[in-house]
Amino acid sequence: MELELAQNLLKRILILGGTGEARDLAGLLVTKPGLVVISSLAGRTEMPQMPLGLVRSGGFGGISGLRDYLAQQSISAVIDATHPFASTITEHGIQACQVAQIPYLRLTRPAWQPEAGDYWLVVHSHTEAAQEIPGRGNRIFLTIGRQELHHYRAVPGWFLMRMIDPPASGSEIPKGELRLERGPFALADELALLAAYRINLMVSKNSGGVATYSKIIAARQLQLPVIMIQRPEIPECEQVNTIHQAWDWLQGKLERSSSGNE
């Protein structure tokens, strides 16, 4: 009976994860009393870096699947710390929380901003990025992960493609070489890589954060043009940039719900 009572007092928090920030947040929240922290991973990476706390893996089955999961697991709040380009799960999270009337927060790293010496061409999609390559470079460093490579399949040129896991077998990818690596990457290594492969154009998503920023600094130092893909738009929602801001938000929500104001 006492155990049941204690469990009822615990607040169950769902982190939509798959990023370093999500792992850091889980590491912070598991130290806080009264919380059960569940991280959700999409389940696509072969050897994911595991967060502290409980972990579940695989899609929920759309908005309704996520809404059902929130109810079944008695989730008190959702913090979406997925990658800035993972916009489908973010839209699902926002909508499922609205229906379930559960507080939702987006934790996202700020986008990179161009600095003096950067030569960026800003585009809004992979289709646009692929169209812009001809005439700008023919030895291209394509650092967009493995899911969107098909957009570049017919683009003339030679591609150095960096990602964590290889593309699915049979997927259509451009001509070039795969480099399977997980960041963070050191500036000296990025400079050496760009020189060794005689890269004359980079294509990058504006992911933000520090783990992969050294390639942007390297491009600046080598005066290399970068085709920079902007983040997808997401519906309006509460957002913060750091795990400590996320904790402040969560405390506020939990205090309000325990005082009966929400």
Residue 213, token pair as written in the block: 């920023």
**C-beta closer to ligand NAP: residue 60 or 120:** 60
* Cα separation values, 118 from 19, 132, 140, 226, 247, Å: 26, 17, 17, 8, 35
Give the separation between CA 34 and CA 44, rounded to whole angstroms. Answer: 31
**Which position among 41, 160, 216, 250 is part of the footprint of ligand NAP (CB under 6 A)?**
41
By CB under 6 A, residue 16 contacts ligand NAP? yes
Query: Using a CB cutoff of 8 Å and minimum separation of 24, what contacts does 136-140 make?
Result: 136/201, 136/225, 136/227, 137/199, 137/200, 137/201, 137/225, 138/200, 138/201, 139/197, 139/198, 139/199, 139/200, 139/201, 140/176, 140/199, 140/200, 140/201, 140/202, 140/203
Q: Please check whether residue 59 is in contact with residue 70, taking contact to mean a CB–CB distance below 8 angstroms.
A: no
**C-beta closer to ligand NAP: residue 45 or 251:** 45
By CB under 6 A, residue 37 contacts ligand NAP? no
CB of 34 to ligand NAP, least distance (A): 24
Restricted to residues 65-124, the positions that interact with ligand NAP (CB under 6 A) are 65-66, 82-83, 85-89, 92
CB of 60 to ligand NAP, least distance (A): 4
Give the separation between CA 76 and CA 36, rounded to whole angstroms. Answer: 10
User: Number of residues in contact with ligand NAP, rule: CB under 6 A?
Assistant: 23
Site string for ligand NAP, 125-154 (x = CB under 6 A): --------------------x---------
**Which position among 13, 19, 216, 243 is part of the footprint of ligand NAP (CB under 6 A)?**
19
By CB under 6 A, residue 156 contacts ligand NAP? no
**C-beta closer to ligand NAP: residue 41 or 254:** 41
- What count of Cα atoms within 13 Å lies in the side-chain half-sphere of residue 185? 24
**C-beta closer to ligand NAP: residue 95 or 200:** 95
- Which residues contact ligand NAP (rule: CB under 6 A)? 16-19, 40-42, 44, 59-62, 65-66, 82-83, 85-89, 92, 145
